[in-house]
């Protein structure tokens, strides 16, 4: 090959390609990588790559179900170093989930230590926990790997080999379900009962033309590890035919008798979707229903769940309407929820949405494939063994001749050539008869090697008898293996026998009931509309009392509270803050009680944040929407807004736009006022007609009301009626605002002497 000199230029080849084409191809490659290599399970073993690699690594490390536990950190590190270089967190998370029997229909990992709880507690760090394989994972998913049952592929750096799929002997995809989010697609498959899945597979194998509806006689629906009740039985057929749909599940409630004729409602099973943080959310939701007076039947609530199971206890008052309360919990909380089904898995190297029968077909085909490879491997081994055994048996019959050949040979090669080809050249024999017999020997190479390696004790009579028995058993094995490989019915029997073995050893009773139930109907008690007085003190604590109580304590109420509002208990109040926000608060959320009750902070029942804003105007919404409001900021920006702008259901809306650093200092209803008086911190006063301020939308900034001196800002805003004496103060001096000279908006105003 001619070498290129330094003076020769490098030839450049410029390939012009549309940028969008490159992006499209790159994105498709990335998406398929995520779909196939990370997020979606394989229909054959029901595992994602990270799960498969973790289990295989544990098997290779010898962390078997009958061996001691090993540190999770060792498993994670070894898996990451050999097979899954995508970070330790994903591997440990997969390990944890495979050990949680409240998430999986059949746990595949036996965890020792804190592996999380059904209530959402996270697992301890991997350096503290230990794990080993569960028996079912070892026997039904990882056995026979030495029998060439599945293909192996190089790992990421081609220093190790890993299986493309595990030889799973039961439909793990159905038994354990799966959840995963890929690019543009998601899989969500519920877990099922192992015994029922086995029965469905057997039914299909006995009748391949069986329909999904007939299969569901054996596998009626999902079996969640948390129990619960599936309430849309009639919709399951369509879900299992199409592979998509929604399963409606609800928790199980029982009523227990308590002391004093009272009752308690006990939740013993929860929906599968409620595991984790949703249990605490359920408790919070129940408390919120109590606080909002949606129910008065619940006296106390406690979570008494333990390792023995779920037990959430609601103590009820004596005359509680239990059925109505049940319906309210189902309607208003996550005690009834939907599980979205999308039975998406990798089949034939590509993602595919599968029905129940499709999954079973893929499983049975996979079983036939791995059993064909297994028994072909075993048959080849038995055939090799048969060849050797036949050679040894034949050798025992002419053992004296073989010994004579060995003694007369000068090396191993000469003896082997005589045994295989009858070549007697160079070998010394005792007689011509021996030589003639040796020339007739025709052992195979494998037989000749076995004869030459045979030990003398094998010539003992009992050993020869054992050899004949082994040969007889080998012939039986060969016949059995050939029958399995050549007879489809025999193959089916082997598969069914294995499944029945797992069913007998690992099967359990169904936990989830499946029924057709009517949707829970809860009628909220109509709230009796009544007048109330809402009082908000200077610390932001709000409480409501009836008008009679207020009138009886009017003097103290007016002195102690910053805002006093007369409204209806079914209404809302509007809280305008210096940040230009309007927070809407339901009056029903404000505690109603006695005059001396402390109340609750207004920011606890709204989005109002007392740490970063404060209220400058509070009024009933019914009053606000009937008024015209004047907004004034400290930088003298002003506008008028119709109150109907604030007739919204949102808890928080922007009442006005503010420039950086500006804040609202005044929100005031305009009724009969004619003049506006603006007072700055520097002592400037400006009086002008209110009509000069235009009407704007709530999202507008407004117009400038006064030209401010540098570093000056508004301190007070007054609105004056014509003919009504109105005063203000500046540096302790009282000022009659009516006597101020009338000017125009957006002017500097008049300096007031101290």
Task: Please give the helix or strand (H or E) that residue 552 lies within, else none.
Answer: helix 547-552
Q: Is the separation of the CB atoms in 614 and 588 below 8 Å?
A: no
Strand order in the sheet with 628-633: 664-670, 628-633, 637-642, 703-704
List the beta bridge partners of residue 245.
341
Closest CA to 249 of 268, 271, 282, 276: 271
Task: Please give the helix or strand (H or E) that residue 383 lies within, else none.
Answer: helix 356-397
Closest CA to 566 of 602, 603, 619, 643: 619
DSSP 658-700: --TT--EEEEEEESS--EEEEEETTSEEEEEEGGGSPB--TT-
What is the distance between the alpha carbons of residues 627 and 620, in angstroms, rounded to a whole number?
11
Q: Is the separation of the CB atoms in 301 and 287 below 8 Å?
A: yes
Residue 65 designated active-site: no
What is the distance between the alpha carbons of residues 553 and 80, in angstroms, rounded to a whole number?
73
What is the distance between the alpha carbons of residues 607 and 714, in angstroms, rounded to a whole number?
28
Task: Please give the helix or strand (H or E) that residue 584 lies within, else none.
Answer: strand 581-586
Only one residue has tokens 């057997």, namely 202
Closest CA to 279 of 293, 294, 269: 269
Which of 92, 128, 272, 457 is the catalytic position?
128
DSSP 35: I
What is the distance between the alpha carbons of residues 306 and 685, in angstroms, rounded to a whole number?
71
Q: Is 565 helix (H, G, I), strand (E, B) or coil?
A: strand
Q: Using the CB atoms, write b or e for 217-242: b if 16+ within 10 Å.
A: ebbbbbbbbbbbbbbbbebbbebbbb
CA 271 vs CA 231, 253, 298, 512, 639: distances in Å: 11, 12, 22, 10, 53
> Half-sphere exposure of residue 500, counting CA atoms within 13 Å on the CB side?
8
DSSP 547: H
* Token couple for 318: 């004596």
What is the distance between the alpha carbons of residues 265 and 699, in angstroms, rounded to a whole number?
50
Show the beta-strand stretches assigned E in 409-550.
513-514, 531-537, 541-545
What is the distance between the alpha carbons of residues 696 and 702, in angstroms, rounded to a whole number?
7
What is the distance between the alpha carbons of residues 500 and 198, in angstroms, rounded to a whole number?
7
State the Cα torsion 53-59-60-64 to the nearest 10°. Answer: 150
What is the distance between the alpha carbons of residues 243 and 459, in angstroms, rounded to a whole number?
65
CA 663 vs CA 33, 573, 577, 637, 705: distances in Å: 52, 21, 9, 10, 15
Compute φ and ψ for 64, nearest 5 degrees.
-85, 170
Q: Is the separation of the CB atoms in 721 and 676 below 8 Å?
A: no
What is the distance between the alpha carbons of residues 386 and 472, in angstroms, rounded to a whole number?
9
Which residues touch 421 (CB under 8 Å, ≥6 apart)? Answer: 442
Active site residues: 128
């Amino acid at each position: 090959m001619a070498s290129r000199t330094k003076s020769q230029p490098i030839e450049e080849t410029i390939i012009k390609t549309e940028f969008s084409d490159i992006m499209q191809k790159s994105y498709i490659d990335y998406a398929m990588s995520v779909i196939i290599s990370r997020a979606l399970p394989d229909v054959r073993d029901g595992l994602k790559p990270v799960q498969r690699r973790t289990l295989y690594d544990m098997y290779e490390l010898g962390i078997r179900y009958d061996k001691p536990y090993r540190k999770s950190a060792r498993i994670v590190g070894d898996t990451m170093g050999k097979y899954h270089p995508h970070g330790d967190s994903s591997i440990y998370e997969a390990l944890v989930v495979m050990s949680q029997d409240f998430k999986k229909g059949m746990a595949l990992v036996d965890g020792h230590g804190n592996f999380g709880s059904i209530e959402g507690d996270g697992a301890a760090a991997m350096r503290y926990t230990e794990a080993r394989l569960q028996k079912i994972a070892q026997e039904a998913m990882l056995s026979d790997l030495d029998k060439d049952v599945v293909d192996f592929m190089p790992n990421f750096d081609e220093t190790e080999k890993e299986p493309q799929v595990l030889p799973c002997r039961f439909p793990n995809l159905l038994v354990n379900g799966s959840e995963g989010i890929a690019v543009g697609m998601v899989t969500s498959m519920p877990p099922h009962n192992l015994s029922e899945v086995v029965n469905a597979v057997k039914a299909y194998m006995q009748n391949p033309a069986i329909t999904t509806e007939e299969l569901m006689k054996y596998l009626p629906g999902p079996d969640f590890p948390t129990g619960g009740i599936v309430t849309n039985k009639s919709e399951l057929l369509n879900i299992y035919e199409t592979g998509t749909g929604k399963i409606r599940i609800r928790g199980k409630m029982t009523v227990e008798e308590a002391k004093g004729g009272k009752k308690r409602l006990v939740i013993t099973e929860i929906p599968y979707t409620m595991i984790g943080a949703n249990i605490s959310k359920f408790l919070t939701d129940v408390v919120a229903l109590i606080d909002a007076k949606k129910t008065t039947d619940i006296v106390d609530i406690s979570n008494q769940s333990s390792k023995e199971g779920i037990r959430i206890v609601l103590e009820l008052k004596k005359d509680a309407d239990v059925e109505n309360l049940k319906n309210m919990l189902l309607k208003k909380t996550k005690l009834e929820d939907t599980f979205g089904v999308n039975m998406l898995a990798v089949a034939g190297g590509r993602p595919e949405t599968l029905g129940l029968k499709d999954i079973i077909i893929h499983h049975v085909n996979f079983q036939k494939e791995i059993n064909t490879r297994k028994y072909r491997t075993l048959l080849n081994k038995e055939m090799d063994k048969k060849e050797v055994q036949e050679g040894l048996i034949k050798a025992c019959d002419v053992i004296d001749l073989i010994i004579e050949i060995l003694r007369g040979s000068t090396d191993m090669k000469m003896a082997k050539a005589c045994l295989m080809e009858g070549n007697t050249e160079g070998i010394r024999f005792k007689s011509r008869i021996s030589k003639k017999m040796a020339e007739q020997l025709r052992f195979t190479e494998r037989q000749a090697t076995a004869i030459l390696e045979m030990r003398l004790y094998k010539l003992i009579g009992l050993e020869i008898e054992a050899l004949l028995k082994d040969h007889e058993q080998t012939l039986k094995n060969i016949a059995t293996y050939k029958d399995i490989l050549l007879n489809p019915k025999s193959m089916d029997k082997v598969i069914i026998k294995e499944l029945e073995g797992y069913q007998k050893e690992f099967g359990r009773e169904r936990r989830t009931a499946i029924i057709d139930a009517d949707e829970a109907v809860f009628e909220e008690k109509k709230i009796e509309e009544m007048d109330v007085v809402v009082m908000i003190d200077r610390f932001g604590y709000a409480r409501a009392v009836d008008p009679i109580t207020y009138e009886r304590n009017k003097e103290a109420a007016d002195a102690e509270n910053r805002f006093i509002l007369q409204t209806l208990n079914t209404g809302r109040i509007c809280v305008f803050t210096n940040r230009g926000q309007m927070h809407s608060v339901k009056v029903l959320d404000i505690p109603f009680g006695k005059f001396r009750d402390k109340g609750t902070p207004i920011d606890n029942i709204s989005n109002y944040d007392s740490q970063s804003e404060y209220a400058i105007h509070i009024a009933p919404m019914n009053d606000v929407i009937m008024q015209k409001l004047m907004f004034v900021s400290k930088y003298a920006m002003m506008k008028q807004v119709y109150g109907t702008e604030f007739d919204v259901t949102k808890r928080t809306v922007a009442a006005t736009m503010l420039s950086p650093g500006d804040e609202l200092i005044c929100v005031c209803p305009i009724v009969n006022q004619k003049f506006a008086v603006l007072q700055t911190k520097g002592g400037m006063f400006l009086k002008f007609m209110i009509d000069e301020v235009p009407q704007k939308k709530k999202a507008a900034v407004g117009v400038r009301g006064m030209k401010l001196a540098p570093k000056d800002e508004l301190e007070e805003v007054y609105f004056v009626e014509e003919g009504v004496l109105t005063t203000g103060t500046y540096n302790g001096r009282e000022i009659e605002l009516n006597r101020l000279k009338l000017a125009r908006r957006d002017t500097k105003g008049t300096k007031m002497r101290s």
